Structure 1
Amino acid sequence: MGESAPGLISELKLAVPWGHIAAKAWGSHQAAPVLCLHGWLDNANSFDRLIPLLPKDFHYVAVDFGGHGLSSHYSPGFPYYNQNFVSEVRRVAAALKWNRFSLLCHSFGGTVGGMFSCIFPEMVDKLILLEASPLVVDTNETDNLLTYKRRAIEHVLQVEAAGKPAQVVSPEEMLQGFLKNNSHVGEECGKHLLQRGATQVATGVRLNRDRRIAWPEHCFDFISRELFMQYIKNLQAHVLLIKATEGYYAVRRVNDTDRELKVFVTSSLKSVLKERFQYLEVPGNHYVHMNQPQLVAGVISSFLQSKEGTPAPV
């Protein structure tokens, strides 16, 4: 870590009705706040390599979403829906007594942070989307939406009926399984996420995450293009969208026929937000913020430090 790096100052446990939301904090409490939201099935360690490269005059808090990392699992009987995660952001802000802050979001964290920024526009100063769309548009998914809703309910019932504890495996087996499901993470970063995402027990390690969490599609709020346009009109934040050249679609889809949708999202944000929107492509994959954080740290730093109304230099 360089001298300018904000030091990790604390692990936090923020009380919620079902237990606690775990988080880790860097920098001074007096500094401008930045809330960091991780991707699907990841955890707060997702930001460990990026935050030390960012300006030290900010207070960074990275949370584990409910059911992830070191955070409590939801109460029995309750599923994990997008709106619940959006609500968690509001709860965290209340617990930290933050009225206005910036959001640094990766992947699924971006759809949560994006929706939060539309629902509570006055609370969000800057919204940084790393390999994320602020909302999920349903262009090619219309036929599947009811199937996803059905599977979401059935999956929770199946997990509850089985009543099995999390599987215990060897650390190596755990890592290989993790990397198989997250081809973009890489071994070193995979181990780092598992430090917070798994717990050592007598016979091996087990995943911390709630087994009721299945696929992101089960909990997304898919919206139409019309609604997308309507929602983003509510945004007051300055938005920075960073896309990796070998990013999300290389993880989730074999054939990316959906570039037109990416163009729709970016061009819509540009047309509505005008000078409040910045878009940047960087080389790298879906986990570029972990694998090569130096590729995104500069533009994020400039964006965080830029004054209202002045687009940050790229």
Structure 2
Amino acid sequence: MGSAAPGLLSELKLTVPWGYIAAKAWGSLQGPPVLCLHGWLDNANSFDRLIPLLPQDFHYVAMDFGGHGLSSHYSPGVPYYHQNFVSEVRRVAAALKWSRFSLMGHSFGGIVGGMFSCIFPEMVDELILLDSSPFAMDINEMENLLTYKRRAIEHMLQVEATQKPPRVVGPQEILQGFLKNNSHVGEECAQLLLQRGTTPVATGLVLNRDRRIAWPEHSFDFVSRELFQRSVQQLRARVLLVKAAQGYNDVRRENDANREPLLFMLHVLRSVLKERFQFVEVPGNHYVHMNAPHHVAGIISSFLQSKRRGPVPQ
């Protein structure tokens, strides 16, 4: 299915205690490093169309989160919690011997990157958020948080108890199912994600992702407005937020017309980061970085190449 993305340097396998994290690298090995984090249930192929359009004197690595793409699944009994994904970023940085780098995250990847940038502020130069936010905020969620925690535990126990072999599905059926669950992904981009997200077997395809991973709200760490504000104050990175005009505003996509959380987030980022924060709205939907990468490539390139205005506050 499809050829390698243009400019691809190599496929990587980085050892972790439960197996390995798979990643792919582009650009110049000598260039400033940029770690790219994909969205929920996606994989590193999420960046195949965007990275070739970015300055090739940077070193881009797109990783598959644990249980996604070609990365190992977590050990039995270990849940996929938000903080585990954040610590994967730290493990990848250690494996690549990166002490400072930039992060580019789409959707859930941006939320993981945001939390990482606040916990390890001295490690992150730039944070690029693609239709994402640095944290999942609980604006519409307070009464649901305990329910999510309960469902996450119940779902994991249920999957472990059933121990069904992976379902083998025909290529057309798997594609249609994917498109039905991801209305923002076009057919070509869906095939690109499935290329890394499935394994061919004799009678069809098997999804690579861990069946224990269900709904994003099972894994997210929702933060209050106060915690969001306090966390952003830790950031030392310059932050670029690229918002898709027809993207998502809400984790569960149920209160999606409500832009109030977005406006609150922008207000905090602007007031805390001042000239270190840049916001751009582009035409397109939640997967604009795949469907129309030229809409975002120029903005990201300028941001990566712009030198800091003055020293970063310590």
Q: Output the TM-score relative to the length of structure 1.
A: 0.95
Aligned to 1:107: 107
Q: Output the TM-score relative to the length of structure 2.
A: 0.95
Residues 7-53 of structure 1, C-alpha deviations (whole Å, 9 max, x = no match): 21100000000000000001221111000000000000000000000
Aligned to 1:296: 296
CA distance in 1, matches of 2:193, 2:172: 14
Deviation at 1:256, TM superposition (A): 2.4
For residue 234 of structure 1, what is the amino acid of its counterpart?
Q
CA distance in 1, matches of 2:48, 2:102: 18
Aligned to 2:66: 66
Aligned to 1:177: 177
Runs of 4+ in 1 over 3 A off after TM superposition: 249-252
CA distance in 1, matches of 2:241, 2:140: 22
Aligned to 1:239: 239
The answer on whether the counterparts of 2:249 and 2:261 sit within 8 Å (CA) in structure 1 is no
The answer on whether the counterparts of 2:106 and 2:132 sit within 8 Å (CA) in structure 1 is yes
The answer on whether the counterparts of 1:6 and 1:56 sit within 8 Å (CA) in structure 2 is no
For residue 241 of structure 2, what is the amino acid of its counterpart?
L
The answer on whether the counterparts of 2:248 and 2:256 sit within 8 Å (CA) in structure 1 is no
Residues 44-67 of structure 1, C-alpha deviations (whole Å, 9 max, x = no match): 000000000000110000000000
Share of identical aligned residues, percent? Answer: 76
- How large is the RMSD of aligned CA atoms in angstroms? 1.3
CA distance in 2, matches of 1:120, 1:255: 32
Aligned to 2:143: 143
Aligned with 1:263: secondary structure?
Answer: helix
Residues 218-247 of structure 1, C-alpha deviations (whole Å, 9 max, x = no match): 010101100000000000000000000100
Corresponding pairs, count: 306
Residues 284 and 257 (structure 1 numbering): CA distance in 2 closer, same or farther, change over 3 Å? closer
For residue 282 of structure 2, what is the amino acid of its counterpart?
V
Structure 1 portions without partners, runs of 5+:
none
Aligned to 1:30: 30
Residues 6 and 103 (structure 1 numbering): CA distance in 2 closer, same or farther, change over 3 Å? farther
Aligned with 1:213: secondary structure?
Answer: coil
For residue 130 of structure 2, what is the amino acid of its counterpart?
L
CA distance in 2, matches of 1:182, 1:252: 13
Matched, 1:14 2:14: yes
Which runs of structure 2 are paired with 1:1-314 in the superposition (5 Å)? 7-249=7-249, 252-309=252-309
For residue 21 of structure 1, what is the amino acid of its counterpart?
I
Aligned with 1:248: secondary structure?
Answer: coil
